[in-house]
Structure 1
């Protein structure tokens, strides 16, 4: 079986990323290295669950538009199915009409995994562009179900008249399928190696102002405690972490974000140079995360990388996409306003990381995902 993957591409483990241009790397990541984790997970599930898979190839938008050899006929001749590694693409701005138009001209099965809708809360009404609606309807026709992230996303899709959907969460959640994935949380006083995953590239909702306040406190605390900061998309931190040098414009940007949380300049520069990281290769990120004892913050996939490495994490949820994913898998999470109300303290974050329900249900959740995945590749009538 030969599979073409679209949407999120996987990590660049086959490349020497240190010799690559930073902007080139960020573009491959779709502006967020968490997207690469989604693509990587889809690729690994295909390899794990389809023993007869011969080839898995990624096709990006640029190649689709600029390579004259890439045609619908080319797909039909060389592949048996198309799989979309999806992120939170159900919003008012992202239009996938170009992909719908291209795939409509093929005759291949088409499966979407992990699609999500993003809103401030469950009362939000998501206006899905017509092109993206076409893509969803095509997947509904050519698969045995669309895999959505949670019940909120499921409701958004149903309102479009599509009903063969299944709540599967994100493919990154199930990389420990078949393993003993029980999580034990150490005492806060025993944690000396932790990683913060911070989100500051969006300020869409009122809650994000509260998130900004608590993240300032978290970052200052990480500097003081000798913890690390793993960046996925924040440009100034990402640029500094990749180049391992201080540039004034980026330092000024980070300092401005910190606001009243004053950190001595020398301490901040040392933190940015030596304890701030960004990863474009799966193996690098995984090996690093396996050395941590705890992870926390507002980045869903940074924390999920920790969890898939057996490291306990606490999610700071701030919109529908993060909440529905955490609720589905019984992941411990806390809202920014709760942190602000109680007062941020690291020991309180660790106390909230209760994995009792996750430990009881993870195996069952993995089995459900595997069943959904496999039924889409079952050729029996």
Structure 2
């Protein structure tokens, strides 16, 4: 299933857009929508068609012929390099087509210190994509190492399309000291393994220091609280109580007097359209938290973001783009203010310009029409 619904040519909304009741029953990670929409904003095309390949269905010859009329197929960036992939259905479909297949910002998802990157299904799928393209656009050096282990060497390291959604060759982050933060955004990823207590601690302590807004990426209980608190669900009171009871049972809330409940009612933000989420982030002076794409969408709009890294994926990402970060393994006696004031966004600005050039090279060498702005020529004075 595509990450979201395309509207107005290159805008993306969730599959539950405009339907709060449905939104509380279907998990949709709006971060995937960020990558999808950003990819569409970068590419130059007349129309885009979603491709479906179910495990229990065999595409007809007519459907395959329809795909062969397209100019290219592109794979939205995500964690495709892993040992849990089930790609047999889409691989079987792609093997029947003749169209170039472009990987656009893919990355590895593996446990710390593991060198077991793919299963056979994933290997076959990735090798097909590599055979049908000049190069692959990937997240970082670990992804490059993983692909090299299965014989794929033609890659361009770009990070993620979301960083380049405004198509500009350079970026300048708006600096702000910790003492000048009036609006702080926290990107929530409540189910991050091993960090629930840490996220609670950060939310509580940050809210004591700054007016803090909690950006939800799609968690069901958070959406239920958000919509019920606004009376937008059938039997909203009951729905609110049920969501609070669920989070209490999971030890996210510590009973009915937990201050975090009040924070949720006053400061939780839920968005079903990428541009609405983006508008919310642009109101912030600073952003931090656990959402890879939520933080990156802030940076793409020149809003400074301090990453919290917790796995190989987030660590590879901040390394690729030179993003200031703190690691959950090194947060003893942690001070957000000190970490924030030490953050150097000039490294990100330089890395952004370099990865932008790599992205352009990837698109050009694969013959993909795009809307990236040209890099300004360097002027040298003659002596």
TM-score range, shorter chain: 0.7 to 0.9
In 1, the alpha carbon distance for the partners of 2:264 and 2:61 equals 44
Give the match for residue 296 of structure 1.
288
In 2, the alpha carbon distance for the partners of 1:63 and 1:132 equals 15
Aligned-pair distance for 1:266?
A: 7.5
Aligned-pair distance for 1:65?
A: 4.6
Gap regions ≥5 residues in structure 2: 230-235, 370-383
Task: Determine which structure has greater relative contact order: mean sequence separation of CA pairs < 8 Å that are 6+ residues apart, divided by chain length.
Answer: 2
Q: CA RMSD in A?
A: 2.9
Give the match for residue 31 of structure 2.
34
In 1, the alpha carbon distance for the partners of 2:258 and 2:117 equals 47
**Which TM-score applies when normalising by structure 2?**
0.83
Aligned-pair distance for 1:290?
A: 0.9
2:96 aligned residue (74, 99, 105): 105
SS where residue 241 of structure 1 aligns?
helix
Give the match for residue 153 of structure 1.
143
Structure-2 change in CA distance of 1:104 and 1:125 (3 Å): same
SS where residue 103 of structure 2 aligns?
strand
Deviations 1:86-135 (A, max 9, x none): 311222222111111101101101111111111232x2123423222222
Give the match for residue 3 of structure 1.
none
Give the match for residue 375 of structure 2.
none
Deviations 1:337-359 (A, max 9, x none): 222x123x331342243202122
In 1, the alpha carbon distance for the partners of 2:280 and 2:257 equals 26
Report matched runs for 1:327-338 at 5 Å. Answer: 327-338=319-330
Structure-2 change in CA distance of 1:139 and 1:241 (3 Å): same
Give the paired residue count. 355
Q: Is the aligned partner of 1:250 residue 2:235? A: no
Q: Is the aligned partner of 1:134 residue 2:124? A: yes
SS where residue 126 of structure 1 aligns?
coil
Structure-2 change in CA distance of 1:163 and 1:359 (3 Å): closer
1:221 aligned residue (187, 195, 205): 205
Report matched runs for 1:56-95 at 5 Å. Answer: 56-61=48-53, 65=57, 71-77=63-69, 79-95=70-86
Aligned-pair distance for 1:361?
A: 3.6
In 2, the alpha carbon distance for the partners of 1:376 and 1:242 equals 44
Give the match for residue 373 of structure 2.
none
Give the match for residue 318 of structure 2.
326
8 Å CA contact retained: 1:114, 1:147: yes
In 2, the alpha carbon distance for the partners of 1:165 and 1:92 equals 20
